[in-house]
Amino acid sequence: MRPDTVFDRRLQHERTALAWERTAIAMIVAGALLARHAVELSPMFAIIGIAQLLTGASLLIWTGRHYDDLHAPLRRGESPVHPGAARLVGVASVVFCGSATAIAIAAAAR
């Protein structure tokens, strides 16, 4: 059950959930653009774009399902940060940005 009153006036749980949602939506958009433009260069790059899109969609679903899980740690005075998820998103972002850079360089060289 959700609380009737705001227990954290700074709304840290709201900002955290919104940050995860923005990250997921950015990954979905970047993956779709990468897949669309990469198919002209190499099917492998298109597969990377689709993987990024699916990763972003999974992250968006995970964020929505675990939004309420942020309340319990905050009530106990703990951090709601999920270190494993943060690492996964960081590594995926670096890999996908590197792939997009390689595609941009290959397209410019054509």
Tell me which residue has tokens 């227990």: 7
The confidence score (pLDDT) of residue 1 equals: 60
Give the pLDDT score at 38. 83
Contact 107, 42 (CB under 8 A): no
Is 0.75 topped by the overall pTM?
no
In this prediction, residue 5 carries a pLDDT of 63
Crossing angle (nearest 10°) for helices 12-38 and 83-109: 30
Residue 67 CB coordination number (10 Å): 16
- Distances in Å between the Cα of 94 and the Cα atoms of 42, 50, 64 are 20, 16, 24
Quote the pLDDT of residue 2.
Answer: 60
Are 19 and 86 in contact by the 8 Å Cβ rule? The answer is: no
CA separation for the pair 48, 21 (Å, rounded): 21
- pLDDT means per 10 residues, the chain with 110 residues, are 62 77 93 87 86 93 79 71 82 87 85
